[in-house]
Structure 1
Amino acid sequence: MNITLTPELEQFVQTQIDSGKYASATEVLLAGVALLKEIDRVYKGRFEELRQKVLDGVDAADRGDVIDSETVFENLQAKLEQKRYQGQ
């Protein structure tokens, strides 16, 4: 596989090598790919968590287990005030 980098990315790779963090351009690119892979894994996990929470919310709404918006905002305001109080 041949990879062509922009001049800016080439300079970045060279800077990483010059700093001593990496011994070669291949090491820099492998580190970048590993990081991208980890970000993708975390993103997928977080997406699944959010998806499940949405499904749980839909199920709760279908059961009629909901809270009116005024109560929700009052509870959020109380939590915010509690956090502010704890921070002092």
Structure 2
Amino acid sequence: MSGVEKISVSLPEELVARMRAAVDAGDYASTGEVIRDAMRDWTLKQQAKAADIERLRKAWQEGIESGSAGAFDIKEFKFRAREELARRQKRAGNDR
């Protein structure tokens, strides 16, 4: 690993105990390795979060650019939804 910088970090006793237990169990060679692994996971999480935010921004912009949705009649919507539900229930009943 090039460009390594040593830093000091204060952690709660519980986390230190967990790190040492992982090292003692042979899961990691050192507590530093535990921290590096945690930082890699954190970096991936941050990248995924940034990608999710960008996808939402694009979807939002796409929605805005698509124009007005027009008038919406809730009674008509419910009527059509009930008709569709009835058709599906009838079809499911005929399949038995």
Runs ≥4 residues deviating over 6 A: none
Q: Which residue of 2 aligns with 1:18?
A: 24
Q: What secondary structure, in the 3-state scheme, does the structure 2 residue paired with 1:37 have?
A: helix
1:61-72 matched pairs, under 5 angstroms: 62=67, 64-65=68-69, 68=72, 70=77
Matched, 1:31 2:45: no
Larger radius of gyration: 2
Residue segments in structure 2 that go unaligned for 5+ positions in a row: 1-6
Larger helix share, 1 or 2:
1
Residues matched between the structures, number: 74
Q: What one-letter code is carried by the residue in structure 2 that aligns with 1:41? A: Q
CA distance in 1, matches of 2:21, 2:9: 18
Residue segments in structure 1 that go unaligned for 5+ positions in a row: none
1:1-88 matched pairs, under 5 angstroms: 1-60=7-66, 62=67, 64-65=68-69, 68=72, 70=77, 74=81
Higher RCO structure, 1 or 2 (CA under 8 Å, sep 6+): 1
Q: What one-letter code is carried by the residue in structure 1 that aligns with 2:13? A: P
TM-score (norm 1): 0.69
Structure-2 change in CA distance of 1:26 and 1:66 (3 Å): farther
